[in-house]
Amino acid sequence: MNAKVIGTGWQLPAYEADNHYLATLVETSDEWIRERTGIVKRHLAKEETTTSLAAGAARKALADAGLQAEELDLLMVATITPDTDTPSTACRVQAELGAVNAVAFDVSAACAGFLYGLHIADAFIKSGIYRNVLLIGAETLSKLVDWTDRGTCILFGDGAGAAVLTAASEGGIIAQSVGSNGSKWDVLFCMGRPNRNPLHEDGKESGYLQMEGQEVFKFAVKTVPACIEQVLTEAGLSADAVDCYLLHQANQRIIQSVAKRLKQPEEKFPMNIDQCANTSSASLPILLAQMKEQGRLHPGDHLVLSGFGAGLTWGACVMIW
Ligand code: COA
């Protein structure tokens, strides 16, 4: 049995912040942001939370799949921006949905979180332990971002995407690979809240996201094509045989570079980065759900999903739609 996506949904916060708005916060310009990243605007949470966005996307995915929340066996939320350190966002979403029969936990793998989640979902489904899985990528990155740092604050947005997977005898995920390299943890990290324990203060100064942009860029353009080539070999497919490459929406130039390395036309690489910016673990499921909604995915299509993020983490999979 393979894990097959049978329903998708997405949800973005109502508030839209364009590049001109960001230029009122830091020294930047619409032109610089568009040229270097492809981003035009991003949605930022004002009223919404990671939990509410996740639940919104999940309800749509369940309706799309024609499944009741009670039928879920496993509920995972890939996130690095939970509303509470504990309990997990997954437990809170479980309560919102009434998914009373599901075991619920979060997956922390930054922007590769959705791919890690697919990996876990596939393993549980293949082993026969669970049948119906809800996987959500949900983030409110706006609370981790340093809004005085023009090197990072222009890149990120908030949102959630969800996919319902079930055991299928045909199609679904046919090859996948995920990887981690913790030795490079410090090229993209967030220390989080300082420790005020009287026995051990940790001296943390910044609780905000910090990044060496060019290091991350170099890592992405090298690792993503290699990982995709690996899963294509495993699936016995050529790059030409893939109908659509859905890549993590971090930077338009990274996506273009991957297309070039794989010798594939850019039209096979749909993008929504202009509208959503980088929504971390939510980026792939939002893109997938929007593609489905727009009727751009057809039964039997060969899709490649791939992403990368802090950790460092990365992954790719091939699925037959
Ligand atoms: N507006 C205007 N100027 C900016 C700017 C901004 N928002 N951010 C940086 N700059 C300036 C820099 O200070 C630097 O100025 P200098 O030449 O006077 O020193 C110049 O622009 C070039 O900076 P650099 O960092 O070399 O730009 P870049 O082409 O590498 O683009 C990123 C920066 C962040 C867009 C790019 O490195 C990137 O996208 N990296 C990957 C990040 C990523 O994907 N992270 C998420 C991973 S999941």
Contacts of 130 (CB under 8 A, 6+ apart): 73, 74, 103, 124
- How far, in Å, is the centroid of ligand 1 from the Cα of 244? 28
Residue 111 designated active-site: yes
Place of tokens 């699936």: 235
- Say which of 2, 153, 278, 317 is annotated catalytic: 278
- What is the C-alpha to C-alpha distance for residues 185 and 180, in angstroms, rounded to an integer? 10
Which atom of ligand 1 sits closest to the CA of residue 154? Answer: 7
What DSSP state is assigned to residue 236? T
153 is catalytic: no
The answer to whether residues 216 and 187 touch, using CB atoms and an 8 Å cutoff, is yes
Ligand 1 centroid to 172 CA: how many Å?
38
CA distance 230 to 177: 8
Q: What is the pLDDT of residue 193?
A: 82
Structural tokens at position 248: 């993590």
pLDDT, position 20: 98
The structure's pTM equals 0.96
Distance from chain centroid for Cα 146: 20
- Asked if the model's pLDDT at residue 51 lies above 80, the reply is yes
Pocket lined around ligand 1, Cβ cut-off 6 Å: 28, 32, 36-37, 111, 150-151, 154-155, 188, 211, 213-214, 216-217, 250-251, 278, 309
- Cα distances from 49 to residues 14, 18, 76, 305, in angstroms, run 12, 20, 17, 26
Average pLDDT over residues 93-103: 98
Assess whether pLDDT exceeds 90 at residue 22.
yes
Give residue 199's pLDDT.
83
**For residue 309, which atom of ligand 1 is closest to its CA?**
48
Catalytic residue among 111, 153, 244, 317: 111
Residue 95 burial (C-beta neighbours within 10 Å; 0-12, 13-18, 19+): middle
**Cα 167 to ligand 1 centre (Å):** 43
User: Average pLDDT of 250-268?
Assistant: 97
- Asked if residues 213 and 149 have their Cβ atoms less than 8 Å apart, the reply is no
Active site residue 278: yes
Q: Nearest 5 degrees, angle CA 32-CA 274-CA 148?
A: 50
Q: What is the 285 CA–ligand 1 centroid distance (Å)?
A: 26
- Per-residue confidence (pLDDT) for residue 207, from 0 to 100: 87
- 12 contacts: CB under 8 Å, gap ≥ 6: 43, 53, 157, 158, 159, 160, 276, 286
CA dihedral 133, 115, 9, 174 (to 10 degrees): -70
Is residue 58 predicted with pLDDT exceeding 80?
yes
Q: Pick from 182, 161, 77, 83: which is nearest to 121 by CA?
A: 77
What is residue 206's predicted lDDT score, i.e. its pLDDT?
A: 74
Is 90 exceeded by the pLDDT of residue 31? yes
Written in H, E and C, the secondary structure of 268-303 is HCCCCHHHHCECHHHHHHHHHHHHHHCCCCCCCCEE
How many angstroms separate the CA atoms of 287 and 82, rounded?
21
